[in-house]
Amino acid sequence: VSETHTHFIKHIVSKDMEEGAYDEIVTRFPPEPNGYLHIGHAKSIVLNFELADEFGGRTSLRFDDTNPLKEDVEYVKAIKEDIDWLGYEPEEVRFASDYFEEMYKQAVHLIKQGLAYVEDLSQDEIRNMRGTLTEPGKESPSRSRSVEENLELFEKMRAGEFADGEKVLRAKIDMSSPNINLRDPVIYRISHTTHHNTGDAWCIYPMYSFAHPLEDAIEGVTHSICTLEFEDQRPLYDWVIANADMTAEPKQIEFARLNLTNTVMSKRKLKQLVDENIVDGWDDPRMPTISGLRRRGFTPESIKQFCREIGVSKADNLVDVRMLEHFLREDLKLKAPRTMAVLDPIKVVITNYPEGQVEWLPADINPENEEMGMREIPFSREIYIEREDFMEDPPKKYFRLYPGNEVRIKHAYFIKCEDVIKDENGRITELHCTYDPETKSGSGFNARKVKGTLHYVEATRAVPAEFRLYEPLIDDEAGGDFMDHVNEDSVQVHHGFVEPNMANVTGNDKFQFFRHGYFNVDPKKSSEDRLVFNRIVSLKSSFKL
Ligand code: ATP
Ligand code: MG
Ligand code: MG
């Protein structure tokens, strides 16, 4: 076992392998196709795939589609795409619904052993008779039905002779068990609903806690990894495995869910944001979905490294979203070309620079990675700088441009502000500056120094672009309804310019814009005549690992 990224589940598997408990480690990732995957799922994906891989085993993708009401093929497709994008290849792709016939047989097997019965009571009556932590449950009159009667009724349930809710099948376990999950849990219910995979073939559907252990056993899963909320269900999982007509003996192991600051992490809540048009779909760049993170510009490697580093534990944890951002910077630092973009432009006219002249200045593509080589950027009489890089009336220690002050234009020359041009409303429209030809970048000029360096884009060749800057979607997690904490101002749109060498970028190309951070070309909003960048993360964060 490698000692980096080791965790308690790895120790369990490692011990099982040493003891020869299994020939091969088999894990599965079992999403319910009722929404898009989020970063919490990524944690489970990384865990399952990399665990099996480390021990030479295999991992399958299984759609846990036993509830026809909320499931949809759109989600099946999106889930496959996300796993593929993360870089994992399931050994097999299975659907739990393909096992409905087998599950039905297993239910019949339980009935025949006197371990399941058909119940006539309503859901409410069942709940009321279940008892509490301190009080045992009451046995239902249906509990004493004969095997024959149960077999007949269960067959009629399947044949569609009852309405939804009229009957259920319950496991006959122990109404006084201290674990309420073992007080004759419902294992089949009636639902006259068309299923995305099996259509109208079935009108009875197995409950999760009965179906899941069977799915694992059918597929030969050895370690069935799930999140902590299923811990209380483990005795039921083991009961199903022990009493089913199966030889495989998968074991359930629970770990703590990933929770991130400043977001919500549940398909139900994410769906609500989509349905109520708070966001622009499941892949909105503010969403913690895999598709949202992808569109925002996060890389598979940054997400995977994040998942590995946060570790696997039994204690509930809330992880700072800035940690995810840290891994994006780590991944792109040496890979992303560095370039200049002006997000909120103001025009600078360099009055002593010859009209019509253009110079192409050499600039490194990534100063931290020389192998990426050089690019050439134009400089001429008219350039754009950031509006915020100029102040008419600056405070002390302001080192950018102001009347009479000299600054360096990155990769180019020193310029000095001579005049401020305003429109009739007093808004600054242009700055008139002069440049000093002696100060060219790379010339070794050192007769005087300036304190500020500003980035720029040459005006006549600049490529117009839209920049979308994001704030957290949820501004506060102090309890209550998350919808009351939605940040109304989570997108800021700017219209500015990028360098001319960026005219031909395509969706999901990533860059570091000098001083502004890492940006991704939005694959959905960009087109041939419209360039839209999502800011992935800013350059610096106060966050330390
Ligand atoms: P949600 O509540 O967000 O809808 P879920 O648990 O219902 O999530 P499933 O589709 O059932 O979603 O999950 C597939 C797998 O991903 C399960 O094994 C589940 O335990 C795991 N998983 C889901 N959310 C998280 C999370 N936040 N952290 C770690 N694993 C998760
Ligand atoms: Mg679920
Ligand atoms: Mg859930």
Domain(s) of CATH 3.40.50.620: residues in the chain: 8-258
Q: Is 257 a catalytic residue?
A: yes
Instruction: State the catalytic residue, choosing from 58, 94, 267, 329.
Output: 267
Atom of ligand 1 nearest to the CA of 267: 4
Assign domain 8-258 to its CATH superfamily: HUPs (3.40.50.620)
* E strand or H helix at 106: helix 100-112
Consult the annotation and say whether 160 binds a ligand: no
Consult the annotation and say whether 250 binds a ligand: no
Residue 36 alpha carbon to ligand 3 centre in Å: 12
Structural tokens at position 346: 């103001």
pLDDT of residue 280: 95
Residue 291 alpha carbon to ligand 2 centre in Å: 18
- How far apart are the C-alpha atoms of 341 and 532, rounded to whole Å? 12
* E strand or H helix at 218: helix 208-219
Torsion angle of C-alpha atoms 210, 212, 213, 215, degrees rounded to 10: 120
Per DSSP, 137 falls in state P
Consult the annotation and say whether 187 binds a ligand: no
Domain(s) of CATH 2.40.240.10: residues in the chain: 345-461
**Ligand 1, pocket residues at CB < 6 Å:** 30-32, 40-41, 43-44, 226-227, 257-258, 265-267
- How far apart are the C-alpha atoms of 444 and 530, rounded to whole Å? 40
Spatial CA neighbour of 307 closest among 231, 255, 229: 255
Question: In CATH, which of 2.40.50.100, 3.90.1200.10, 3.30.160.620, 2.40.240.10 is domain 345-461?
Answer: 2.40.240.10
Structural tokens at position 421: 């041009």
Q: C-alpha angle 271/187/79, rounded to 5°?
A: 30
- Number of the ligand closest to the Cα of 227: 1
Spatial CA neighbour of 508 closest among 531, 541, 538: 531
For ligand 1, atom 27, name the residue with the nearest CA: 40
Residue 259 alpha carbon to ligand 1 centre in Å: 11
Question: In CATH, which of 1.10.3720.10, 1.10.1160.10, 1.10.12.10, 3.40.190.10 is domain 259-332?
Answer: 1.10.1160.10
Q: Would you write out the chain's pLDDT as a tens digit for each of its 545 residues? A: 456 789 999 999 999 999 999 999 999 999 999 999 999 999 999 999 999 999 999 999 999 999 998 888 999 999 999 999 999 999 999 999 999 999 999 999 999 999 999 999 999 999 999 999 999 999 999 999 999 999 999 999 999 999 999 999 999 999 999 999 999 999 999 999 999 999 999 999 999 999 999 999 999 999 999 999 999 999 999 999 999 999 999 999 999 999 999 899 999 999 999 999 999 999 999 999 999 999 999 999 999 999 999 999 999 889 999 999 999 999 999 999 999 999 999 999 999 999 999 999 999 999 999 999 999 999 999 999 999 999 999 999 999 999 999 999 999 999 999 999 999 999 999 999 999 999 999 999 999 999 999 999 999 999 999 999 999 999 866 678 899 899 989 999 999 999 999 988 999 999 999 999 999 999 999 998 899 999 999 998 765 55
Query: Please, which residues bridge with residue 530 across strands?
Result: 527
For ligand 1, atom 2, name the residue with the nearest CA: 266
Q: Are 137 and 184 in contact (CB under 8 A)?
A: yes
Instruction: State the catalytic residue, choosing from 80, 138, 158, 257.
Output: 257
For ligand 1, atom 14, name the residue with the nearest CA: 31
Q: Is 18 a catalytic residue?
A: no
pLDDT of residue 528: 87
Consult the annotation and say whether 39 binds a ligand: yes
- One-letter amino acid of 169: L
For ligand 1, atom 4, name the residue with the nearest CA: 267
pTM across the whole model: 0.95
